[in-house]
Amino acid sequence: MTDKERPKILIVEDDESIARLMALHLRAAGYATEIVGDGDRAWQCLQQDSWRLVILDRMLPGMSGMKLLRWLRRDEMTHYVPVLMVTALGMSAERIKGLNEGADDYLPKPFEPDELVARVRALLRRSRLSERPVVTGMGVLQLDPEVPVVYDGDQHVELRPLEYKLLKVLMAKPGKTRSREWLLDHVWGHDVFVEPRTVDVTVKRLRKALKKLGRKQCVETVRGMGYRYVEPKH
């Protein structure tokens, strides 16, 4: 199994030795991992890519683990991701607070690597990713309302969060051309400064993902104006 086929786990831990230990045992168990050491960088990773699970340290430099957890749960594209909180603050009150904020499980430090792997497996088994409700409708392509997945009949492909948001707003009005500026406002938001070229890069990645379904042509470039979604005929 290649790294692209392995379930992807984001490890948010500022203690490098602990993070590497987690990654070592999770990779041996068949998972792909990425390590980040602070909450701000973790939030960027969550917005840029799709993850099957997040292992989150409560005490982090910059944005705290608790604040990141609250953001993750409030965002429409990350609220479904299971979170295993790992921390040295093992008191009952701290565990309850983390669970109330949206953590799916809590593992106090120090921990046995085998227990970490077992808890990850258990969370993934009951993850909402395995219970995807599919949008029904007349269109050939259908978006999952809960997770960044697009379906074409029995086939499906997972998208990055921004790719999903972009496809969603284009599919809302098939045939309607949207300018780069309009897409920046409605996908990235008014308060985020990014270059218009960012839209082109995201469209390129979206087309690459849709190519796996044979639907790359669904997102058309309208020269000098922007992009539009064209409903496939079959």
Q: How confident is the model at residue 137 (pLDDT cuts 50, 70, 90)?
A: very low
Whether residue 90 is predicted with pLDDT greater than 70 in this model: the reply is: no
Tell me, yes or no, whether 33 and 109 share the same domain.
Answer: yes
User: What pLDDT does residue 129 have?
Assistant: 47
**Do 153 and 66 share a structural domain?**
no
Looking at the structure of the chain, the number of domains it has is: 2
Q: Could you write out the DSSP letters of every residue in 78-131? A: TTTS-EEEEES---HHHHHHHHHHT-SEEEESS--HHHHHHHHHHHHHT-GGGG
Q: What is the mean pLDDT of residues 178-205?
A: 83
The whole-number average pLDDT for the span 202-215 is: 92
Q: What is the pLDDT of residue 53?
A: 94
234 is a domain residue: no
Alpha carbons 17 and 13: distance in angstroms, whole number: 9
What's the confidence (pLDDT) of residue 19? 95
- Which has the minimum average pLDDT: 23-37, 39-53, 144-158, 208-222? 144-158
121 lies in the same domain as 147: no
The last residue of one of the domains, among 130, 157, 173, is: 130
Q: What is the mean pLDDT of the chain?
A: 85
> 117 and 138: one domain?
no
Lowest mean pLDDT, pick from 16-20, 186-190, 198-202, 206-210:
186-190
Please determine, for residue 130, whether its predicted confidence score (pLDDT) is greater than 60.
no
pLDDT the model gives residue 1: 55
* CATH code at position 146: 1.10.10.10
- Per 3-state DSSP, what percentage of the chain is helix, strand, and coil (rounded to 5)? 40, 20, 40
Q: Which domain holds residue 142?
A: 133-229
Q: Is residue 3 part of a domain?
A: no
Neighbours of 165 (CB within 10 A): 21
Three-state SS sequence of 26-79: HHHCCCEEEEECCHHHHHHHHHHCCCCEEEEECCCCCCCHHHHHHHHHHCCCCC
Whether pLDDT at 223 is above 80: yes
* CB of 212 closer than 8 Å to CB of 222: no
What percent of the chain stands above pLDDT 70?
A: 86
| Stretch 183-206: mean pLDDT | 82
Residue 92: what pLDDT? 63
| pTM across the whole model | 0.65
Q: Give mean pLDDT, residues 211-218.
A: 90
At 139 the pLDDT is 72
pLDDT at position 136: 44
Residue 189 has pLDDT above 60, yes or no: yes
Average pLDDT in the 134-158 region? 76
